[in-house]
Structure 1
Amino acid sequence: MRRFGRTVGRVVGTTFGTAVGTTARAVPGVMIGLITAGLAVGVGELVAVWSGPQTAPAIAVGSAAIDLTPTPLKEYAIRNFGTDDKPVLLTGIYLTLAAIAVAAGILAVRRPMVGVGLVAVFGAVGAWAALSRPTARGGDLWPSILGAVVAGAAMVLLVRSYQASQSPEESASRLPPWAQDRRGFLTLAAGAAGTAAVSGLVGRTVVDKRYNVALKRSRVRIPAPATRAAAIPPAVHPNVAGLSSFITPNSDFYRVDTALVLPQVDPDAWTLRIRGMVDRPLELSFAELLNRPLVEHDQTLSCVSNEVGGPYVGTARWIGASLADLLREAGVQRGADQLVGRSIDGMTIGTPVESVLDGRTGLLAVAMNGEPLPIAHGFPCRMLVPGFFGYVSATKWLVDLELTTFADYDSYWVRRGYSKIAPVKTASRIDVPKPFAKVPAGSVTVAGVAWATHRGIDAVEVRADGGPWQLARLAAADTPDTWRQWTHELNLAPGLHKLEVRATDATGAVQPEQRVDTVPNGATGWHSVVITAA
Structure 2
Amino acid sequence: MARQRSVRFIALAALAGAVAAASVLAVAELVALIVARGAGPLEAVGAFVIDIVPQPVKEFAIATFGEYDKIVLLASVALGAVVAAAAAGILQLWRAPAGVVVLAVGAAAGTAAALTRAGSTPLWALPSVLGGIAGCVLLALLIRRLRRWRDAARGRTSPAGPDEASESPQAAPSRRAFLTMTLVSAAAAIVVGAGSRALSAVTNSIDAIREALRIPAPRSRVQIPADAEFDVPGLSPLITPNEDFYRVDTALTVPSIDPATWRLTIDGMVDQPVDIGFDQLMEMGLDEYAITLTCVSNEVGGGLVGNAVWTGVPVRELLKLAAPSADADMVLSRSVDGYTASTPLDALVDPERDAILAVTMNGEPLPLEHGFPVRMVVPGLYGYVSATKWLTQLTVTRFDRDEAYWTPRGYSARAPIKMSSRLDTPRAGTPVDAGEVMLAGVAWAQTVGIERVEVSIDNGPWEAAELSAPINDDTWVQWRMPWQAESGTHYIGVRAVNRDGDLQIEERAPIAPDGSSGWQRVLLTVR
The equivalent of 1:148 in structure 2 is: 132
Unaligned runs of 5+ in 1: 1-16, 171-176
Q: 2:313 aligns with which of 317, 321, 336?
A: 321
Aligned in 2, Cα 1:38/1:154: closer, same or farther, shift over 3 Å?
same
The answer to whether residue 27 in structure 2 is matched with residue 43 in structure 1 is: yes
The equivalent of 2:322 in structure 1 is: 330
Q: 1:82 aligns with which of 45, 58, 66?
A: 66
Q: 1:398 aligns with which of 372, 378, 391?
A: 391
Deviation at 1:308, TM superposition (A): 0.4
**Further displaced range: 159-168 or 140-149:** 159-168
Q: 1:127 aligns with which of 104, 108, 111?
A: 111
Letter paired with 2:54: P
**Further displaced range: 259-268 or 204-213:** 204-213
Aligned in 2, Cα 1:261/1:179: closer, same or farther, shift over 3 Å?
farther
The answer to whether residue 372 in structure 2 is matched with residue 372 in structure 1 is: no
The answer to whether residue 189 in structure 2 is matched with residue 189 in structure 1 is: no
Cα distance in 2 between the residues matched to 1:448 and 1:180: 71
Cα distance in 2 between the residues matched to 1:436 and 1:20: 51
The equivalent of 2:210 in structure 1 is: 217
Letter paired with 1:393: S
Contact 1:496–1:530 under 8 Å retained in 2: yes
The equivalent of 1:198 in structure 2 is: 191
Letter paired with 1:518: I
Deviation at 1:178, TM superposition (A): 12
Cα distance in 2 between the residues matched to 1:85 and 1:235: 37
Cα distance in 1 between the residues matched to 2:250 and 2:123: 22
**Aligned residue runs from structure 1 range 323-472, under 5 A:** 323-359=315-351, 360-472=353-465
Q: 2:120 aligns with which of 136, 145, 165?
A: 136
The answer to whether residue 101 in structure 2 is matched with residue 117 in structure 1 is: yes
**Aligned residue runs from structure 1 range 99-118, under 5 A:** 99-118=83-102
Cα distance in 1 between the residues matched to 2:473 and 2:105: 55
Contact 1:496–1:532 under 8 Å retained in 2: yes
Contact 1:162–1:185 under 8 Å retained in 2: yes
Q: 1:308 aligns with which of 279, 290, 300?
A: 300
Cα distance in 1 between the residues matched to 2:24 and 2:238: 48
The answer to whether residue 261 in structure 2 is matched with residue 277 in structure 1 is: no
Aligned in 2, Cα 1:530/1:179: closer, same or farther, shift over 3 Å?
same
Letter paired with 1:160: R
Cα distance in 2 between the residues matched to 1:509 and 1:332: 34
Deviation at 1:54, TM superposition (A): 2.0
Contact 2:247–2:369 under 8 Å retained in 1: yes
Cα distance in 1 between the residues matched to 2:423 and 2:355: 29
Letter paired with 1:261: T
For these two proteins, the number of residue pairs brought into alignment is 511
The equivalent of 1:255 in structure 2 is: 247
Deviations 1:99-156 (A, max 9, x none): 1111111111122210100110110110111112122211111111111100000011
Percent sequence identity is: 43
SS in 1 for 2:182: helix
Deviation at 1:212, TM superposition (A): 4.4
The answer to whether residue 478 in structure 2 is matched with residue 485 in structure 1 is: yes
The equivalent of 2:3 in structure 1 is: 19
SS in 2 for 1:76: helix
Cα distance in 2 between the residues matched to 1:390 and 1:455: 18
Contact 1:338–1:352 under 8 Å retained in 2: yes
**Further displaced range: 46-55 or 449-458:** 46-55
Deviations 1:278-303 (A, max 9, x none): 11111111111111111211000010
SS in 2 for 1:55: coil
Cα distance in 2 between the residues matched to 1:200 and 1:112: 28
Cα distance in 1 between the residues matched to 2:143 and 2:431: 63
Unaligned runs of 5+ in 2: 155-169
Contact 1:53–1:261 under 8 Å retained in 2: no
The equivalent of 1:288 in structure 2 is: 280
Deviation at 1:313, TM superposition (A): 0.5
Cα distance in 1 between the residues matched to 2:497 and 2:21: 57
Cα distance in 2 between the residues matched to 1:334 and 1:459: 39
Cα distance in 2 between the residues matched to 1:180 and 1:271: 61
Deviations 1:198-234 (A, max 9, x none): 11012111222233410011111111112332x2012
Q: Please, what is the CA RMSD of the aligned residues?
A: 1.7
Cα distance in 1 between the residues matched to 2:273 and 2:7: 68
Contact 1:417–1:520 under 8 Å retained in 2: yes
The equivalent of 2:148 in structure 1 is: 164
Contact 1:248–1:314 under 8 Å retained in 2: yes
Letter paired with 1:341: S
TM-score between the two structures when normalised by the length of structure 1: 0.93
Deviation at 1:179, TM superposition (A): 10
SS in 2 for 1:184: helix
Q: 1:60 aligns with which of 44, 47, 52?
A: 44
**Aligned residue runs from structure 1 range 473-512, under 5 A:** 473-512=466-505
Cα distance in 1 between the residues matched to 2:85 and 2:139: 11
